[in-house]
Each structure stands twice: as structure tokens, then as C-alpha cells.
Structure 1
């Protein structure tokens, strides 16, 4: 090794001056930061008469796990599991380690973490079928359902801003369920509900489509009538929809927009200029054709074409890699007070004529009752299993 080169006196003074200048800038920045308002809390209270994850925005990261109950798991055992899970919901939702957490450092606050718990038909059988469980959906003509994405006795849906928080939370729920139930399927996905300016936006699926524009606004009477039963429960339909992006990309932009009935750029209807403009289903083009085609998704799913029926739809985009092959799609989540009265007629109408059927295939389907929320001292499913 050569002899180390010592800095000259001039260099030393230069370094010192730069350090002092840096310290001055840092100090000024610190003072400026001290004057800023504290960041808004991203904590969503786990308590409430209704499970809070239902009305929350689609999470940036989400995971769904369906479970099948083990033989011998009875009503009392299931009640014990719900007490364990309820404790996890509270602790993890508050950014604290779950009881018995083996990795407590992974519990992080202010990630907007929510956990939604659902019951399949088996739970209601164990509870004496009171109240009644929602029925499974009939298989649609375009469905190609796979067992690995369908059914289930229990569901947890964990969402958060931070993927690590989701993975950690799911790990805790699965561990606590081990004596009572085993995972039947797991699905992970992502969504972006924030625009470049930091303000909430509707979000887009992998077709590039603004997805969920027609939803009733959270907190309105219309939302409450669409989603909630009188006791604070609701129902959830989970549909795993594979998207054929290769053939979709072969179509022109105008063909894609005609299939949807909305502009890809803004989500506005083809008869409007802004996302939330009302659809003009009577408008005709110069050749006399409906501007929003008879088989356009926006027309067929619109409440005015479905005797006023509405759902509250959310989604998570997904990609599933197998070697060099990638499957892309949408985990479609539909909340409604009554599956048979609201969702099924809409599903049948879309299955029969939706233009998007050319590029979409449903490969997974499951239905769950979402029990009411709980208050301190209570637990999830207490009205069903207590």
C-alpha cells in the first residue's frame, strides 16, 4: 500500500466550511419541519357496529385467505377462534403486536390496516343456521371455476398501505386458526386509490379502466341501503376474474372504449366529459347507433338498466406467475345487503351480453356473510356464535 495522502490545510478548512454549511441547512430544515402540521393518522379504528374494512377505500395491498374448518371444530371452538381473531383485529389495527406475536417488531402503526372477517355456510350450520347463510352462486355460462380459488368456510381480508403489515397480519391470523381451520386458498392483490396530487381517486384495473365509478358514495343513505342489513351485517361476493390482456391490447382504443362505454383517459361516459357525469343511454351517433352500445359494460351494469339495483364494488389487481407465464386479473369484491336480490340479477345480465366477456373469464367464486362489527369487550360473530 502507498503512503496515505494527507489533506492540505486549505482542504481541511474547505471540508469544515462545507460541514458547517450543511449543519446550518439541516438546522433550518429542522426548524421548518417543526412548524409543519403533524401527518394525518392512518389508523382506522377496529371497533364499530359494522366492520370498518367494508366502507374503507380499496387497500394499496391486500390479501384474502379462505379457510376450511377442521373436523371436530364445533360452535364452541369456532367461538374461541373468533375471540382470538378479534384480539388480533384490535391489536394489529392499532399498530401493536398481536397476543403471542412471534415477530412483534413487524406491527406498524398508521398503515390504514383493516381486517374483514366473513362466514361461509358451514359456520351457520354449526350455529344452528340462524340467521341463514347466503347461498352459493350458480355457475354462469362464461365461468370456468377452479376449486383452488373457490368456496370456503371462513374468510379474512387484510388490507393496508404497507405490504409488510399485510403479510405479518395474515401470518398471525393463520397461526391462530391452525387448531381449528386450514387455508383453502389465498389471493393477493394491489390497488391505487391515490392520484398524483395525493387526493383520492377511483383507481384502475389492468385493462386501464377506471373501475368503480358507479358506486354509491360511502356515508350516504344510498350506500347504507345498498350495503348494510339492519343489524350491521352485509354479504361479500369474491370473484377471481382472469383478464386476457394480450387480445385486449390488439384492439384499438376506440374499440376498447366502446366495449366499456367509458373513456379510458378519464373514466367519463362516452356521452360526457367527466368521470361522474351521468350516462346518457338515449344518445345516438351520426349513424343512429347508441353512443353507449347495447352490450357496453357501463350500460348493462347501470342501476337504471337493472330496476334500480346497486352493489358496492371494490377490487384488487393481481398477477400470478408460473415459471415464465404470467396470469393477470382482477379480484372482484361486491358488497350488498342481499346477494339474491341485488347481485345475482346483475351477474346474470352481464354473463348473457357483456362485451367484456370476450376478454374476461371468472376462475374463482365464493360468497360470505360479513357479520356486524364489535365494541370493546365484544368479539366478531358474537351474535351468531355466542
Structure 2
């Protein structure tokens, strides 16, 4: 069914919403379907050079190059490509992570309809255009490097009748001694990552995608985050969490050499059905106790981290990029870098134990009687979380001084779908 003329957007939105849902609910299957209405590049951004997106912790990044290998146009990020945006791109300062569940009785057809809706809506939003059912399209009209990344959980595979094709790593992580999970942030069937240079763009896109998904998917939780913006005056600024700790100093290269660490099938090996050029994402919510952190002096903090807080350099070095001297001892013969320091415990024991960290801080309203509700939305991308992420996390759970001040309260593992090439729908190869 042809989708309505966008020129009718303001005066006929309620009717169009019904038409859109009816048409999509009547459509069967997915295959490599063509979206009826595609979004051209925003005229306001065509031909403009992309801002420098290089990060010190991600050496080799190409300024302005998106996940699909295409250059961003001005302040928009390309939606179409072999790989989704929002994985290796320079992280925007504002983000929202939305966990959604499929309704009871959902089928593969339900999943296919949802992907058709989201493909069209996301393409429009990333091109600084409102979706067809958008009653506030002006909120989408300001380009802000918006990117939306879609990932699916184990429940998506079950609903789609694809349990046999689900990769072994797509499951909740094993329980660890430090975990204190609540019922607020469980594993969900779907994950939306929405990032932009503007909190207005994030909030608007999040709402439009959640509302547009109803009743095909229902929002379970939302985690909002922030980080320092990349600016011309501070190029390559490394992320600092709310402890003041430099986070993500050592990262895989995102310009090709470390593709097998981030992208499924990046080494040319066979990939699970429908996931070649996809990835996996781990999202863990980590509460940070700022009250007791305030009681620790600078020496105690740097000993726990294993790095100098001012520069992010190992306590045995001068620059963040300096390799740590793990054999260095002080005058009494004790290791200069504590054996239980976060840096030492997080170091890879094997070459493959590396992940691409894209964390965000949160600072939500505290509960009555509390002073803070602060922490980290820890986000990492990797080709295989069981092989790459889990060994690292187990070492941290066994002995990491930072566990004195941090508590994981939520966790989820998702498969990041490949990108959508022109004429394709997200998840086409998986649901075919």
C-alpha cells in the first residue's frame, strides 16, 4: 500500500496513523521489501563536510565517517548502508536507551511489521524529517547528528520462530557476585539506542518511535544518558564518568583493522543467520555511590582506578596512551599499580578480550531522603559478548577495588541488526 502524501501531515495525521497501521497489519512477511516512501538527504545538510568525529580512545577513526563507511552530510548521519549507525560513530553527547517487549502472542509477522514501521520512521528522523504520523515535525527539522540503532533480544527470536537460529551468546549474562539487579531494568525483546547532539532530538525521536511501534511493541524501560560533547576546542576528548574517571582509554580501532572485534563476520567467517555486518551490544546499568566516593582522598581513588585522574594516564606513565608498567614496584616492593585496580583487572588477558566502550552517565532524580541517583549506562559493542566481554567482567567481579563504590543494577544483551541497504527493511535477512 502506498503511504500517504507527507504534505497532508498536519491536517490528517490521525487518519494517516490508522491507514499506516492498517496497511502494515495487512502486509504479510518481510523478505527484502521496498519501503514505500524513502527519505532523501536533508537539503539543509547536503554537500556539507562532516564534523571531526575522531576520538583519542578510538585511534584511527576517520573524521565524519559513519558506521556504513559513508560520510555524514553536515549534521545528519546516513541511515542506509551495510551496517547500522550508532556503533562505531563518534558518540553524541545525549542518548536514550529504550527497552521494549513484544506483546503476548507476537509472531514473525508481528516482528516484520514492526521493522517496516521503524525502518521508514528512523530513515525520516535521521534525515531531519518527521515520520508520517508526526504531529510535531518541527522538532525533527533541526539536524543534530541523530542516529538510531535497533537491536533484538532473545524474546524476538522466540516470537519470530527463529530460536534455532539464535546465536549462543544472545542470552542474559551469567549472574555475578557483584550484581544486584532490580526489576526496573530487565532484559527485553528489543532495544532502541537513540543518540544526538540535542536532547530535544533524542526525546522527540524516542517518543515517535515508541508511539509508532504501538501495539507491535510496548515500552518497558528508558535509560537516558549524557557525556561531554566533542568540540573544536576539545578534539578527541575522552569520556569521564561522574567519578571523574577517564573511561574507555583503550579501544579497538574502528577504521578496519579491528573489525572482527566489533562486527559479526568482520573476519570473513560464517555468521549467524541475518547478522553478518551486525554486532552485539551489552547494556548494564551501574549505580555509583558518590557519597562514599567523596570520602576517599585522591591517592585512594587513583590507586583504585590504576590511573591518574587528571590525565587518565597509568600511575606508571604520563599520557593516557602510555602502556602500564605492571611490574613496577615502590620502595617497599609493592606493585605501583594495585593488583585489584580497575585498570589491571580490566586489561585483556587474550587479544580477543577487547570491546568497544560507548558509555553514558546518568543523573536522575533521587528518591525521597537521598541526595543522588547517579551512575553509568555502560554500553559496549563486540562481535561475541561471551568470548570478549564476559571474561573481562568476571575478572572485575572477582576483585576490582571500584566495586566498593559501584553496583550493577540492570543488564541486557542484544543482537545489533545489520544496516538496511537501499530498498531494504531492517532485519530483512533475519526474518526472510
TM range (shorter): 0.7 to 0.9
Sort the Cα spacing of 1:38 and 1:76 in 2 relative to 1 into closer, same or farther, 3 A.
Answer: closer
Q: Of the candidates 100, 110, 113, which is equivalent to residue 133 of structure 2?
A: 100
Superposition RMSD on alpha carbons, in Å?
A: 1.7
**Distance in structure 2 (CA, Å) of the matches to 1:284 and 1:195:** 39
1:265 is matched with 310
What does 1:304-383 align with in structure 2 at a 5 Å threshold? 305-306=349-350, 308-321=352-365, 322-323=367-368, 325=370, 326-383=372-429
Q: Of the candidates 161, 164, 181, which is equivalent to residue 145 of structure 1?
A: 181
Deviation at 1:44, TM superposition (A): 1.2
Deviation at 1:38, TM superposition (A): 8.2
1:286 is matched with 331
Deviation at 1:339, TM superposition (A): 1.3
Asked if 1:229 corresponds to 2:264, the answer is yes
Deviation at 1:68, TM superposition (A): 1.1
Q: Of the candidates 108, 112, 116, which is equivalent to residue 79 of structure 1?
A: 112
Name whichever structure is richer in helix by fraction. Answer: 1
Asked if 1:121 corresponds to 2:165, the answer is no
Structure 1 segments of 4+ aligned residues over 4 angstroms from their partners:
37-40
User: Deviation string for 1:132-159 (max 9, x for gaps)?
Assistant: 1402111110110012112100110100
Asked if 1:158 corresponds to 2:194, the answer is yes
User: Deviation string for 1:112-140 (max 9, x for gaps)?
Assistant: 11001110101112242253140211111
Whether the 8 Å contact between 1:98 and 1:172 is mirrored in structure 2 is yes
Deviation at 1:39, TM superposition (A): 8.4
Deviation at 1:324, TM superposition (A): 5.4
Deviation at 1:74, TM superposition (A): 1.1
Give secondary structure in 1 for the equivalent of 2:364: strand
Whether the 8 Å contact between 2:304 and 2:338 is mirrored in structure 1 is yes
Q: Which runs of 5+ in 2 are unaligned?
A: 1-47, 52-73, 266-275
Whether the 8 Å contact between 1:214 and 1:302 is mirrored in structure 2 is no
Whether the 8 Å contact between 2:356 and 2:381 is mirrored in structure 1 is yes
Q: Of the candidates 108, 123, 135, which is equivalent to residue 90 of structure 1?
A: 123
Deviation at 1:374, TM superposition (A): 0.8
Whether the 8 Å contact between 1:239 and 1:364 is mirrored in structure 2 is yes
2:226 is matched with 190
Sort the Cα spacing of 1:348 and 1:204 in 2 relative to 1 into closer, same or farther, 3 A.
Answer: same
Give secondary structure in 2 for the equivalent of 1:255: helix
Deviation at 1:353, TM superposition (A): 0.4
Whether the 8 Å contact between 1:127 and 1:384 is mirrored in structure 2 is no
Q: Number of aligned pairs?
A: 348
Deviation at 1:335, TM superposition (A): 1.0
Q: Of the candidates 325, 345, 358, which is equivalent to residue 300 of structure 1?
A: 345
1:20 is matched with none
Deviation at 1:197, TM superposition (A): 1.0
**Distance in structure 2 (CA, Å) of the matches to 1:324 and 1:159:** 32
Give secondary structure in 1 for the equivalent of 2:261: helix
TM-score, L = length of structure 2: 0.78
**Distance in structure 2 (CA, Å) of the matches to 1:277 and 1:193:** 24
Q: Which runs of 5+ in 1 are unaligned?
A: 1-36
Give secondary structure in 2 for the equivalent of 1:73: coil
1:180 is matched with 216
User: Deviation string for 1:42-68 (max 9, x for gaps)?
Assistant: 211111111110111222111011011
Give secondary structure in 2 for the equivalent of 1:183: strand
1:4 is matched with none
**Distance in structure 2 (CA, Å) of the matches to 1:91 and 1:140:** 41
User: Deviation string for 1:73-126 (max 9, x for gaps)?
Assistant: 211121111011011111111111112111111113431110011101011122
1:9 is matched with none
**Distance in structure 1 (CA, Å) of the matches to 2:414 and 2:261:** 16
Give secondary structure in 1 for the equivalent of 2:395: helix
User: Deviation string for 1:333-379 (max 9, x for gaps)?
Assistant: 01111111111111111100011000000001111111111112111
Whether the 8 Å contact between 2:129 and 2:137 is mirrored in structure 1 is yes
Whether the 8 Å contact between 2:261 and 2:352 is mirrored in structure 1 is no
**Distance in structure 1 (CA, Å) of the matches to 2:49 and 2:400:** 48
TM-score, L = length of structure 1: 0.87
Whether the 8 Å contact between 2:102 and 2:217 is mirrored in structure 1 is yes
Whether the 8 Å contact between 2:116 and 2:426 is mirrored in structure 1 is yes
